[in-house]
Amino acid sequence: MKTLVRLAAACSLAFVAASGALAQSNPYQKGPDPTVSSLEAARGPFAVGSTRISSSVSGFGGGTLHYPTAPGSYGLIAVAPPFIAQSSSIGWLGPRLASHGFVVVLIDVNSTLDFPESRSRQQLAAIQYAINQSRSASSPVYNKVDATRIGLSGHSMGGGATLLTARNAPTNIRGAFPLTPWSSDKNFSRLTVPAGILACENDTVASNTSHSSAFYNSIPASTPKAYYELRGESHFCPQSPSNNPVIGKYIVSWMKNFVDNDTRYAPFLAGALPQADLASRRFSALRTSGL
């Protein structure tokens, strides 16, 4: 009996050691195990700081940097605003993403009338700005940006810019999550960056047939992709606080899974958990591929 007890104890210790080794195998994994409630909460586990970016900065119109205050290196996410608006219209995304362990550059554009092609160039400029800030000892994000792990998001024409940036400049870009994207360029057959598209059922500005759904269909099957459509919502659904819990859950999970390579978040992107949002009528449509 004592031999069996010792054997069981040894096996248990071996299992714990193996689990610990697996947990340490991904150096980018940060924070506690995710749950539906933790991902739908207004804030994640990291305390967040922020600093304004001057409108006189080169290449884009300024904005805000949000970042975890805890020491360490984090993936970078660049978020572009919608047509005739600036970053304040989707300002909740900055601290929300940062509180889950990302540096976020929430950009203002040079002109609110800029189209996706211009917004894409400004998104790239904002990425380089954040990387440069991480190299400056006087910056609050000093040594906080991992320039090899970048994510993209944006709303409306900012979402179109996100797809263009992901398609045209994929180096070090690990994931894209556009929100009700608008773009006159419909061909994303060369997109290799994993892309999750958040659409809204009653979008009359960027109709899903000619925008979000068309973009999803054009992305090759070899690229991980998803289409999440919120039931009964308009083009401006990312600006409505009532949608923050569900949008926040999916964008955080997408970035954690692809930018941080944290597979703990994979179940929130495909399978039973998104199907539950479809069954509860939170979603009007759901499509995934390669997840």
Calpha distance 6→37 (Å, rounded): 40
Contact 182, 157 (CB under 8 A): yes
Calpha distance 32→187 (Å, rounded): 38
Contact 217, 163 (CB under 8 A): no
Residue 277: per-residue pLDDT: 96
Calpha distance 95→49 (Å, rounded): 8
- Render pLDDT for 110-163 as a digit per residue (tens, 0 to 9): 998 999 999 999 999 999 999 999 999 999 999 999 999 999 999 999 999 999
Examine the pLDDT at 2 and tell me if it is beyond 90.
Answer: no
Calpha distance 119→84 (Å, rounded): 12
Average pLDDT over residues 98-115: 96
Yes or no: domain 36-289 corresponds to CATH 1.10.287.610? no
- Render pLDDT for 12-51 as a digit per residue (tens, 0 to 9): 333 233 334 444 588 999 999 999 999 999 999 999 999 9
- Render pLDDT for 232-285 as a digit per residue (tens, 0 to 9): 999 999 999 999 999 999 999 999 999 999 999 999 999 999 999 999 999 999
Average pLDDT over residues 170-192: 95
Torsion angles phi and psi, residue 125, rounded to 5? -65, -40
Residue 107: per-residue pLDDT: 97
Which residues are identified as catalytic? Answer: 156, 203, 235
Task: With 0.85 as the threshold, say if the pTM is over it.
Answer: yes
| Every domain of the chain and the residues it spans | 36-289
Calpha distance 94→104 (Å, rounded): 6
281: left (phi over 0), alpha (psi -120 to 50) or beta: left
Calpha distance 247→206 (Å, rounded): 18
Strand segments, DSSP code E, in the chain are: 48-53, 63-68, 74-80, 102-107, 145-155, 173-179, 195-200, 225-230, 283-289
Residue 225: per-residue pLDDT: 98
Residue 193: per-residue pLDDT: 97
Q: Report the percent of the chain where pLDDT is more than 90.
A: 88
Residue 29: per-residue pLDDT: 94
Examine the pLDDT at 174 and tell me if it is beyond 80.
Answer: yes
Average pLDDT over residues 176-194: 97
According to DSSP, the residues that pair with 289 across neighbouring strands are: 225
Torsion angles phi and psi, residue 52, rounded to 5? -75, 150
